[in-house]
Structures are given as structure tokens and as C-alpha cells.
Amino acid sequence: MPVTQIVYASRPFGYDELALRNILVIARRNNSRSGITGALICREDLFLQLLEGRRDVVQTTLDRIRHDDRHTDLRVLLDEDSSDRLFPDWAMRHDPARSWMWTAAQVADGAVHSATPAETRAVFTRLSREPAMAQDPAPGCPLEPGA
């Protein structure tokens, strides 16, 4: 059965480590219950998130995310069906933006929003092939506050 994959980008508002921890705890709990997997790449100037699962559930989750006041300027960059999940074992993988990602200047100049769907998918395809960071908990495990 195909899965829907949606990638959105937004600008963090009031970003700090505590806000990120809260986002991850809630996302992992909700996504585990809903059968959603994916990854969140975040830094001070960018949230880039892939959600994958049943179309109706992913769309409901995206609608909830749109109303979250911890970010602004949400734009969907990719919305398509796929035969496979990129992050089948992750309720929400967290990875900071890597050096091969867009620079802060490129983000400010609109590079993320002008990326093609193939370029957007390539970011997450590459991430899915890299080992998880040591501080990221095991797949699907909630990140405990204070960890």
C-alpha cells in the first residue's frame, strides 16, 4: 500500500533546545499512535520535516502543525505517494542540519522554497542513509525531558 510523504519547511519562532525537546517528545508520542514516521531537520533559521503514513493521517497532522505558534511561514515543498517509507523505524528522527544542507544565507535568499521536489526528496533520502546521531534515542523512543 502506498504511503503519503509530505515535506514542509517553516521558520522557527522562539527556537531553543527546550522548544525542540518538547516538539520531539510530542511528535514521537503522537506519531507512534498514528502510524506516522519521518524526520525533522531543524536549526535556528529552518524547520524541514518529512511526514509519512496514510494520507488522511498525515494531512490531519500537517493541519495541526500549521496552527503551531512555534514556527511561521509554513510551505509544503513535497506531497506525493511512495511505495516505501524513508524512515520506517522512526516515529520522528531528529537530525540537525548538516553542512551539505543550505547555508543560512541560501535559506534567507529562498533556496529552500525554490528547491525542486527531487532536491527536497534528496535531502531526506541522504539523511535516511546516514547513521543516527548518538544523542538521538532509539527509533520510536520518546526523548525524555532533561535527557
Span 35-52, pLDDT tens digits: 999 998 888 888 899 999
In a domain, 139, yes or no: no
What average pLDDT does this structure show over 132-136? Answer: 56
Q: Residue 97: which domain range?
A: 3-129
In a domain, 145, yes or no: no
**Count: domains in the chain:** 1
Residue 117: the pLDDT is 92
- Which candidate, 77, 62, 78, 71, places its Cα nearest to that of 27? 62
In a domain, 106, yes or no: yes
Q: Which CATH number is 105's domain given? A: 3.30.70.100
In a domain, 138, yes or no: no
Contact 55/79 with Cβ under 8 angstroms?
no
In a domain, 92, yes or no: yes
Q: Where are the alpha helices (DSSP H) in 3-138?
A: 17-34, 55-66, 104-108, 111-114, 117-129
Residue 13 banded pLDDT, cuts 50, 70, 90: confident
In a domain, 134, yes or no: no
The answer, yes or no, to whether residue 145 has pLDDT greater than 90, is no
97 three-state secondary structure: coil
What span, in angstroms and rounded, lies between the C-alpha atoms of 37 and 28?
Answer: 9
What average pLDDT does this structure show over 98-119? Answer: 86
**Least confident interval from 1-10, 93-102, 104-113, 136-145:** 136-145
